[in-house]
Amino acid sequence: METVTKTDTLEGLVNEKLGRRAFLKLTGMGIFVAATASLPAVLEAAQPKIATKHRYGMVIDLKRCVNCKACTVACKLENKTPPGVAYNPVIEEEIGEFPYVQRRWFPKPCFHCDNPPCTHVCPVTATYKRQEDGIVIVDYDKCIGCRYCITACPYGARYFDFGENYPAHETEYGKIPSPEFQGEYGLRHEGKSPVGNVRKCTFCLHLQDANGHYMRPPACAETCMAKAIHFGDLAPNAEGNCIAHKDCNLKQSLVERKWLRLKEELGTEPSVYYVL
84-104: average pLDDT = 91
Query: What are the tens digits of pLDDT across the range 216-268?
Result: 999 999 999 999 999 999 999 999 999 988 788 999 999 999 999 999 999 99
Average pLDDT, the chain: 82
Rounded CA gap, 73 and 246, in Å?
Answer: 23
Q: What's the pLDDT at 143? A: 95
Q: What's the pLDDT at 71? A: 97
DSSP 22-91: HHHHHHT-GGGHHHHTTHHHHHHTPPPPPP-S--EEEEEETTT-----HHHHHHHHHHT--TT--SS-EE
Cis peptide upstream of residue 154 (ω within 30 degrees of 0): no
Largest CA distance in the chain: 55
Query: What are the tens digits of pLDDT across the range 123-179?
Result: 999 999 999 999 999 998 899 999 999 999 999 999 999 999 888 767 787 788 888
Q: What's the pLDDT at 252? A: 93
Q: How many residues are recorded in the chain? A: 276
Q: How confident is the model at residue 215 (pLDDT cuts 50, 70, 90)?
A: very high
**Tell me, what DSSP letter sits at residue 215?**
S
Q: What's the pLDDT at 12? A: 44
Domains by residue range for the chain, with CATH = 20-275 (3.30.70.20)
Q: What's the pLDDT at 182? A: 65
Measured between its terminal Cα atoms, the distance across the chain in Å is 16
* pLDDT at position 96 over 60: yes
Rounded CA gap, 176 and 188, in Å?
Answer: 10
Q: Which of 20-29, 120-129, 190-199 has the lowest mean pLDDT?
A: 20-29
CA angle 85, 89, 95 (to 5 degrees): 135
Q: What Rg, from alpha-carbon coordinates, does the chain have? A: 18
